[in-house]
C-alpha cells in the first residue's frame, strides 16, 4: 500500500499544519466543553458524543455537569439518578462505564484525572480514540484521536485504501496521523480534524470547494473523493419481535418490569415484553386492527385471549395500540403494544406504578416510544 505521507517533506508538513490550524481558529465550533481544558469535561463530552449527534449532546452535557460537576460527584451518584440524567441518550453502558471510571480515579489516582496516555487508557470505557482526545486537548500530548471522521479525512488526504471497518486498519491511520499532527497544538489539530470531517469532508458530497486542505488532498487532485473511505458493508441488525403488555389494575396503576442487571438495557424499566416469532407477529397485526375499536369500550374485550402472557390473568383489549420499532447497533426490535386490565395479582416480578410517578423511573428509548403510543390512545379516547 502506498504511504503518501512518507513523501511529505518537513516543510510541507509545517505548511499543512499552519493552514489547517488557521482555518480551525477562524471556524471552530462554539461548544460548551471547549471553554477550557478541564479533562473531566472533555471526557464526559467525548463519551456522550459516541454514536450521538453534537446537537443532541449539548443539552445532555449541561444537565450532566449540573448534576455531577466533579469526578467525586459522579463516583458517588446513585445509579438510578445517573441513568435518569442519561435517559434518552442510549447506549447506557457508556454511563455505567463513566461511573466505574470515576470510582477508579477516586481510588487509584486520589481523585485527580490521570495525565498520561497509559493511565487514561486504564480507565473503564476509554479506548484509543478517547484517550487521544483527552490527552491531546487537556494535556497537549501529541497523541492522535482517530475516529470515523478522522479516518475519512485522512483516507482522502492520502488515498488510503485500507478498509476502515477493520480494526487492523487503525495502525495505518495512526501512522499517517503521527506524521502530520501538530507537535505544539495537538489538541487543536485533533479537533480541527473532527470539525472538518463533520462539516466539510462528509461521507457523501464533500464540500471540497471550501476545504482548507484542498491543495494537499490527493483524492481531490485525482478526482477520487467518492472512492474513500473504503468501508465494507456493515452486517444488518437482527430482527427481533415482541408483544408488550400495558397492564392496568383497579387502582389505575400500570405494571412495570425491571430488566436484569446485565445485558441490553440493564436495570431499565419497561412494560412487560414477550418475544414471539415473525409469523405470529404478522398474524397479530392482521387479527387486531389498530383502528377498529375505542380503547376503553366494554365491547372491546378480546373474545379469545391472545396467547401472549398466557400465564397471567389479564383481560386484553382486542386492539393493537400501536407498533414500535427501535434499532440498536446489532438488533432491530419490533413491538406490538397491547392494553389489558389485571383480573388477579400478577405472578411476574415487577412493580405497580402510578403514571404520574413515571418521571422517577429510568425509561430507555423503546419504553418512551411505547409510553407515547399509550398516551396517544388515551388522548384519542377522550376526544
Q: 90-101 burial, b if ≥16 CB within 10 A, otherwise e? A: bebebbbbbbeb
β pairing state of 238-248 and 331-342: parallel
Number of Cα atoms under 13 Å in the Cβ half of residue 198:
16
Report d(CA 322, CA 357) in Å as an integer: 23
Determine which one of 12, 46, 107, 175 is catalytic: 46
Query: DSSP per residue over 199-256, as a string?
Result: HTS-SSS--GGG-TTGGG-HHHHTT-GGG-S--PPPPPPEEEEEEEEEEE-TTS-EEE
Report d(CA 93, CA 79) in Å as an integer: 12
What is each CA distance from 154 to 3, 10, 48, 374, in whole angstroms? 11, 18, 24, 48
Element spanning 71, H or E? helix 71-76
| Other CB atoms within 10 Å distance of the CB of residue 359 | 9
Residue found by looking up cell 490527493 in the block: 218
Assess contact for 137 and 42: CB atoms under 8 A. yes
Is 6 an annotated catalytic residue?
Answer: no
Report d(CA 64, CA 260) in Å as an integer: 25
Assess contact for 381 and 288: CB atoms under 8 A. no
Report d(CA 137, CA 28) in Å as an integer: 14
Report d(CA 249, CA 232) in Å as an integer: 51
| Catalytic residue numbers, as ranges | 46
Amino acid at each position: 500500500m502506498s504511504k503518501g505521507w512518507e513523501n511529505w517533506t518537513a516543510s510541507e508538513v509545517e505548511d499543512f499544519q499552519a493552514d489547517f490550524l488557521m482555518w480551525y481558529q477562524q471556524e471552530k465550533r462554539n461548544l460548551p466543553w471547549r471553554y477550557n481544558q478541564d479533562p473531566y469535561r472533555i471526557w464526559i463530552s467525548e463519551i456522550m458524543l459516541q454514536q450521538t449527534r453534537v446537537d443532541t449532546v449539548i443539552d445532555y452535557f449541561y444537565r450532566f455537569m449540573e448534576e455531577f460537576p466533579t469526578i467525586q460527584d459522579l463516583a458517588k451518584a446513585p445509579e438510578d439518578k445517573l441513568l435518569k440524567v442519561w435517559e434518552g441518550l442510549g447506549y447506557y453502558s457508556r454511563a455505567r462505564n463513566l461511573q466505574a471510571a470515576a470510582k477508579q480515579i477516586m481510588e487509584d489516582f486520589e481523585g485527580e484525572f490521570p495525565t498520561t496516555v497509559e493511565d487514561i487508557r486504564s480507565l473503564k470505557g476509554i479506548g484509543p480514540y478517547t484517550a487521544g482526545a483527552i490527552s491531546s486537548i487537556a494535556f497537549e500530548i501529541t497523541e492522535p484521536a482517530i475516529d470515523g471522521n478522522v479516518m475519512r479525512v485522512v483516507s482522502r488526504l492520502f488515498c488510503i485504501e485500507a478498509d476502515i471497518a477493520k480494526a487492523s486498519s487503525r495502525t495505518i491511520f495512526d501512522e499517517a496521523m503521527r506524521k502530520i499532527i501538530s507537535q505544539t497544538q495537538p489538541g487543536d489539530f485533533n479537533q480541527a480534524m473532527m470539525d472538518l470531517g463533520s462539516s466539510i469532508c462528509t461521507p457523501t458530497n464533500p464540500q471540497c470547494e471550501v476545504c482548507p486542505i484542498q491543495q494537499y488532498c490527493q483524492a481531490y487532485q485525482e478526482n477520487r473523493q467518492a472512492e474513500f473511505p473504503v468501508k465494507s458493508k456493515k452486517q444488518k441488525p437482527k430482527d427481533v419481535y415482541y408483544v408488550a403488555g400495558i397492564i392496568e389494575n383497579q387502582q389505575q396503576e400500570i405494571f412495570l418490569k425491571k430488566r436484569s442487571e446485565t445485558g441490553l438495557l440493564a436495570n431499565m424499566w419497561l412494560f412487560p415484553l414477550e418475544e414471539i416469532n415473525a409469523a405470529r407477529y404478522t398474524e397479530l397485526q392482521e387479527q387486531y386492527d389498530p383502528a377498529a375499536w375505542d380503547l376503553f369500550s366494554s365491547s372491546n374485550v378480546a373474545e379469545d385471549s391472545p396467547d401472549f402472557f398466557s400465564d397471567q390473568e389479564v383481560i386484553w383489549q382486542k386492539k393493537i395500540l400501536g407498533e414500535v420499532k427501535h434499532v440498536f447497533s446489532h438488533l432491530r426490535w419490533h413491538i406490538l403494544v397491547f392494553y389489558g386490565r389485571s383480573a388477579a395479582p400478577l405472578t411476574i416480578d415487577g412493580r405497580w406504578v402510578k403514571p404520574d410517578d413515571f418521571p422517577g423511573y429510568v425509561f430507555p428509548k423503546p419504553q418512551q416510544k411505547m409510553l407515547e403510543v399509550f398516551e396517544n390512545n388515551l388522548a384519542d379516547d377522550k376526544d
